[in-house]
Amino acid sequence: MLDTDLLLLKAGSVRKHLKRAREKCDADLPKFLGNPDHQDIVCFNLQMAIQNCIDMAAHVMSAQGSSVPGSVNEMFYFLEESGLVPANLVETMVKAVGFRNLLVHEYGKLDLKEVFEIAHHHSNDLDRFILSLFQSLGIAV
């Protein structure tokens, strides 16, 4: 059964973490690159915002009685196949998951210029995901 309160709570967490990341991502790249504390705060909050979107996708998938996915990305593809999120937004979320994996697992050297770019120009993608999902589910925001 879909728990609307849980989804609203997760959406609130996404917005809180995005707000914090935006506040601490300096206006210009050189200043951001010179501030390790801001870098850490932005990375952590982007990671948490993406994780909350993943949690939302997992909850919707579970509530619809789907089997356990083989990967996190499969959850977003499930949302697309269910008509809940458009394909272009799913691809955006798959990229967000890849970025989150870099943050969490440190697969490679993190490109702080990319972090800056994401915080300034792509963090709205998570808001778009929430709005699209909620609209499809009939949840007022």
pLDDT tens readout for residues 47-62: 999 999 999 999 999 9
Element (H, E) at 125: helix 124-137
Q: Cβ(81)–Cβ(87) under 8 Å?
A: no
**Confidence (pTM):** 0.94
Taking only the tens place, the pLDDT of each residue in 33-50 is 999 999 999 999 999 999
| Residue 43 near residue 52 (C-beta atoms within 8 A) | no
pLDDT band at residue 69 under the 50/70/90 scheme:
confident
d(Cα 47, Cα 81) in Å, to the nearest integer?
Answer: 26
pLDDT given for residue 107 in this prediction: 57
* Among the ranges given (24-38, 57-71, 72-86, 123-137), the one the predictor scored with the smallest mean pLDDT: 57-71
Q: What are the boundaries of each domain within the chain?
A: 4-137
> If DSSP codes are grouped into helix, strand and coil, which group holds residue 100?
helix
pLDDT in tens, 84-135: 999 999 999 999 999 999 999 875 678 999 999 999 999 899 999 999 999 9
pLDDT value for 67: 80
| pLDDT tops 90 at residue 12 | yes
Report the distance separating Cα 141 and Cα 135, nearest Å: 9
Q: Which CATH superfamily is domain 4-137 in?
A: bsu32300-like (1.20.120.580)
